[in-house]
Amino acid sequence: MAARILDGNKIRDDILAELAGQVRELKSAGVTPGLVAVLVGANPASQIYVRNKVKADLPAETTTDQLLALVEKLNRRDDVDGILVQLPLPPGVDSKRILMAVDPAKDVDGFHPLNVGQLVSGRPRVVPCTPAGIIEILLRNQIPLQGARAVVIGRSDIVGKPVALLLLHHHATVTICHSKTRDLASVAREADILVAAIGKPAFVTGDFIKPGATVIDVGTNRLTTEDEVRWVFRDAAKPLENLVAKGQVLVGDVHPEDVKEKAGAYTPVPGGVGPLTIAMLMSNTVQGARARRGVGVPAGRQ
| 3-class DSSP state of 83 | strand
81's CB contacts (< 8 A; 6+ apart) are: 33, 34, 35, 50, 106, 285, 286, 288, 289, 292
User: Angle 35-268-142 (CA atoms, 0-180°, nearest 5)?
Assistant: 80
Beta bridge partners of 173: 149
Q: Give CA–CA dist 153/174, Å, rounded.
A: 11
CA 121 to chain centre: 21
For this structure, is 142 an active site residue?
no
- Catalytic pick among 22, 86, 192, 258: 86
**What gap in Å lies between CA 200 and CA 196, rounded to an integer?**
9
Does residue 161 have an active-site annotation? no
73 classed as catalytic: no
41 to 14, 100, 101, 139: CA distances (angstroms): 34, 20, 20, 38
10, 27, 53, 73: the catalytic one is 53
| Spatial distance between the Cα atoms of 116 and 122, rounded to a whole number of angstroms | 10
- The active-site residue out of 109, 192, 217, 258 is 109
**What residues are annotated to the active site?**
53, 86, 109
